[in-house]
C-alpha cells in the first residue's frame, strides 16, 4: 500500500532508461570522452553523457568523429567511442570504422537505429537500414542490443572485442526503442558490469623465443622493423632496452617514428632501401609485410631474408613470406621474454653492417640536405617542410598529423620524431580525410598542441571540422601546403573550359575559413614567414590555420605511389 502512495517524483527516481544505461555502462568501463554527431535517436545519449561528466565532442561529419575515436583508441590503448544516428549517419561513420579495423585501432561505433519491426519488413521507416548487416564486413565484430537490460552486456562485449587480441573497430547497434525503454533502476544497475583485464597479456612460449634469438645471433645483417603495433603496445621501455642492449639497427614505419628518436645512432631510417635489400634476418615488431613493406618481396628485399615476426594475431604470420620464427603474443610480453632469454653478447650487430648502414645514411642525409636547404621561389614542398621541421624541433611534444600525397611522403622523411605515438597519418589504407578527426582526438586526449600538415586536397575532406576545433578552442595548428591541386596545381584540360580533374582553386585562401569561426588565419609564401607564423600560432595555444602557397608545378602525381596508377592505352 505504501509503495502505491509514493509521490511520483520518488517513483521516477527508481526508474532509469536506455540513454542513461548506455552512459552508465561506458562510465563504468572508464570511458571519458564520446566523439559523435547528434540527431534522432541518440541526442539524449550525448546530453546524459555531458550531465554525467563524460565529455561529448560534437562534430560536423560522422567520418571525422569516427576517425577521432579511432585515433583516441590508438593513443590511449582503450577503445575510442563514436556515436552516430541511424542510416546515413551510421554509414558516414562506417569509413572510419573500417579504417580503424584496417589499422588495428580499437574503437566502438555506437549507432542508434530505426524501428526493427518496420525496418525488417522494409515498410519504409525514417532512416531505414539494416545497419547490423551493413556493418559486419567492415568491423572486427558487430552486435545489436534488443532489450534495455542487455545494454551493459552489449557495451562490455563491444569494448572487449575492440581491444583484446588484434585491436579493431566494433559496431554496436542500439535501436531507438531500446534507448527509450524504461527499466527499474536497481535492476538496471545490476545489469552492468566492468570488464576485468580488457586486453589480457599474451606470453610467447620459451621455445619460440629461443628460436628467434638463435636466428638473430647467427645473422650477419640483422634488422628490426618497428610498426604502429609496436607504438600502440606502449612497450616503449622494453623495445628500447632490447634494441640498445643488442645494438641492432632499427627501421620505424611512419607511425612508429619516435618510439626511439629518429636521430638515434642505431636508426637505419636514412638508409632504408639498403637496409631492406641487404638484411638477412628481419625482426618485424607490430608491422605487417603488406604493401607498405613491398610484401617482403625482391628486388626491394633480400630474397634470402629470414623473418621473425612479433604479432598478437597468429593468422597474420605467413600471410606474405614464410616466417622462420613466429612470436605470437603482446609486444610488451614478447620483448620482456627476449630480454630475459638473450645471453649477454649473444645477439650483436656486426661492425661491417653498422658501417655499411652508417655510410649510406651519411650519403642520403647529404642529398636530403641539398633538397631541404634549397630556397626556390615560389616556395616548394621541401622549403615549407624545412620551416616546419625547424619549429617542431623546438616543440618536440607537439603531435604531428599528416595526410596528402607529396605532403605525406615528403613530410614523413623530413620531419623527425623524438617522442612515441606523436605521429598520426593516412596509415594502412592511405586514406584522405583523417586529418581534422585525428588532430582533434590528439588534442582532446593529451591537451598538447597539434600540428596537422595537410595537402590542400587532403584538408578538404575534413575541413569543416575547423568549426569544431574553434568551438572547443583546441590547440591545433593546421598547415595547408597549398599547390592548388590534387597532387599538383598545374593540370590542364585541353578539351573544354572545365578545370582538369586534378585542378583545385589556385591561391585559395584556406586561412579565411578558420577566421569565419574565430580562429587565427595566416597566409605565407616563404619558409621564413612560415617559421614565424607557426611559432606564433603554437605559442598562442589557439586554433590556427596557415595557408602556405606552394609552387603549383611542384609535386608528383600520386606522390611516391605513381607506379600504382594502372597504365592504359597510349601510356606504355
Ligand atoms: P605498420 O603499418 O606501421 O607497418 P601494421 O598496421 O601493418 O603496422 O601492423 C600492426 C600489427 O601490430 C598488426 O599486425 C597487429 O596485429 C599488431 N599488433 C597490434 N597491437 C599489438 C600488440 N599489443 N602486441 C602485438 N601485436 C600487436
Ligand atoms: C578517401 C586519393 C590520394 S592523395 C590525394 C587523393 C585525393 C590528395 C593529394 O593531393 P593533396 O596533396 O592533398 O593536395 P599533395 O601534397 O600531393 O599536393 N579519397 C580517399 N582517399 C584517397 N587516398 C584518395 C581519395 C588521393
Q: Which ligand 2 atom is the nearest neighbour of the CA of 459?
A: 13
Query: In angstroms, what is the span from residue 277 Cα to ligand 1's centroid?
Result: 22
Query: In angstroms, what is the span from residue 176 Cα to ligand 1's centroid?
Result: 36
DSSP bridge partners of 400: 423, 451
- pLDDT (0 to 100) of residue 571: 63
Which of 450, 333, 412 shows the shortest CA–CA distance to 71?
Answer: 450
Point out the residues of the chain with pLDDT beneath 50. 1-9
| Contact between 372 and 527 (Cβ < 8 Å) | no
Question: Closest Cα to atom 11, ligand 1: which residue?
Answer: 286
Q: Which ligand 2 atom is the nearest neighbour of the CA of 489?
A: 18
- pLDDT (0 to 100) of residue 569: 84
The Cα 352–Cα 356 span in angstroms is: 6
Which of 70, 79, 75, 58 shows the shortest CA–CA distance to 98?
Answer: 70
Question: Closest Cα to atom 5, ligand 1: which residue?
Answer: 287
Which of 46, 100, 111, 110 shows the shortest CA–CA distance to 73?
Answer: 100
All cell numbers assigned to 185: 533502476
- pLDDT (0 to 100) of residue 3: 38
- pLDDT (0 to 100) of residue 10: 53
Which of 168, 302, 145 shows the shortest CA–CA distance to 232?
Answer: 168
- pLDDT (0 to 100) of residue 567: 87
**Whether the model pTM is above 0.85:** yes
Q: What is the pLDDT of residues 367-406, one digit of tens each?
A: 999 999 999 999 999 999 999 999 999 999 999 999 999 9
316 lines ligand 1 (CB under 6 A): yes
Query: In angstroms, what is the span from residue 36 Cα to ligand 2's centroid?
Result: 25
- pLDDT (0 to 100) of residue 572: 52
Amino acid at each position: 500500500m505504501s509503495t502505491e502512495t509514493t509521490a511520483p517524483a520518488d517513483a521516477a527516481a527508481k526508474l532509469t532508461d536506455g540513454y542513461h544505461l548506455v552512459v552508465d555502462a561506458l562510465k563504468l568501463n572508464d570511458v571519458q570522452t564520446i566523439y559523435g554527431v547528434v540527431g534522432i535517436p541518440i541526442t539524449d545519449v550525448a546530453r546524459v553523457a555531458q550531465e554525467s561528466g563524460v565529455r561529448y565532442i560534437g562534430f560536423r561529419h560522422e567520418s571525422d568523429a569516427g576517425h577521432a575515436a579511432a585515433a583516441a583508441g590508438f593513443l590511449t590503448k582503450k577503445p575510442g567511442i563514436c556515436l552516430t544516428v541511424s542510416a546515413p549517419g551510421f554509414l558516414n561513420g562506417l569509413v572510419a570504422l573500417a579504417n580503424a579495423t584496417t589499422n588495428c585501432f580499437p574503437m566502438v561505433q555506437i549507432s542508434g537505429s530505426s524501428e526493427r519491426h518496420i525496418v525488417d519488413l522494409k515498410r519504409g521507416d525514417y532512416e531505414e537500414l539494416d545497419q547490423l548487416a551493413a556493418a559486419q564486413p567492415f568491423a572486427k565484430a558487430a552486435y545489436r542490443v534488443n532489450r534495455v537490460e542487455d545494454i551493459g552486456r552489449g557495451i562490455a562485449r563491444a569494448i572487449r572485442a575492440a581491444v583484446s587480441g588484434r585491436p579493431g573497430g566494433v559496431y554496436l547497434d542500439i535501436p531507438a526503442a531500446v534507448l527509450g525503454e524504461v527499466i527499474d533502476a536497481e535492476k538496471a544497475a545490476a545489469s552492468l558490469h566492468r570488464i576485468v583485464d580488457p586486453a589480457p597479456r599474451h606470453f610467447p612460449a620459451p621455445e619460440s623465443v629461443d628460436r628467434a634469438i638463435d636466428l638473430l645471433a647467427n645473422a650477419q645483417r640483422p634488422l628490426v622493423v618497428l610498426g604502429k603495433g609496436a607504438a600502440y603496445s606502449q612497450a616503449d621501455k622494453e623495445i628500447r632496452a632490447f634494441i640498445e642492449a643488442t645494438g641492432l639497427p632499427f627501421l620505424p614505419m611512419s607511425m612508429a617514428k619516435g618510439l626511439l628518436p629518429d636521430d638515434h645512432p642505431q636508426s637505419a631510417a636514412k638508409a632504408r632501401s639498403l637496409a631492406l635489400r641487404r638484411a638477412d634476418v628481419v625482426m618485424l615488431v607490430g608491422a605487417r609485410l603488406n604493401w607498405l613493406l613491398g610484401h617482403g618481396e625482391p628486388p626491394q628485399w633480400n630474397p634470402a631474408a629470414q623473418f621473425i615476426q612479433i604479432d598478437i594475431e597468429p593468422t597474420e604470420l605467413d600471410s606474405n613470406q614464410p616466417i622462420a620464427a613466429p612470436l605470437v603474443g603482446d609486444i610488451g610480453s614478447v620483448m620482456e621474454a627476449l630480454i630475459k632469454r638473450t645471453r649477454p653478447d649473444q645477439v650483436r650487430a656486426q661492425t661491417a653492417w653498422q658501417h655499411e648502414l652508417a655510410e649510406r645514411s651519411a650519403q642520403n642525409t647529404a642529398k636530403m640536405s641539398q633538397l631541404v636547404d634549397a630556397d626556390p621561389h615560389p616556395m616548394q614542398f621541401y622549403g615549407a617542410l624545412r620551416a616546419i621541421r625547424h619549429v617542431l624541433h623546438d616543440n618536440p611534444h607537439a603531435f604531428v598529423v599528416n595526410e596528402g600525397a607529396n605532403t605525406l611522403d615528403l613530410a614523413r622523411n623530413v620531419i623527425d620524431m623524438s617522442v612515441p605515438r606523436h605521429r598520426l597519418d593516412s596509415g594502412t589504407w592511405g586514406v584522405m580525410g583523417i586529418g581534422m578527426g585525428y588532430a582533434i582526438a590528439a588534442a582532446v586526449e593529451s591537451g598538447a598542441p597539434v600540428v596537422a600538415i595537410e595537402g590542400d586536397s587532403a584538408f578538404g575532406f575534413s575541413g569543416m571540422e575547423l568549426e569544431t576545433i574553434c568551438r572547443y578552442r583546441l590547440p591545433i595548428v593546421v598547415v595547408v601546403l597549398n599547390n592548388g591541386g590534387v597532387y599538383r596545381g598545374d593540370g590542364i584540360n585541353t578539351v573544354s573550359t572545365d578545370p582538369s580533374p586534378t585542378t583545385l582553386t589556385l591561391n585559395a585562401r584556406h586561412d579565411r575559413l578558420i577566421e569565419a569561426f574565430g580562429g587565427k588565419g595566416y597566409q605565407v609564401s616563404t619558409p621564413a614567414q612560415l617559421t614565424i607564423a607557426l611559432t606564433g600560432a603554437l605559442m598562442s595555444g589557439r586554433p590556427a590555420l596557415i595557408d602556405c602557397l606552394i609552387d603549383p608545378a611542384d609535386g608528383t602525381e600520386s606522390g611516391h605511389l605513381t607506379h600504382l596508377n594502372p597504365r592504359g592505352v597510349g601510356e606504355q
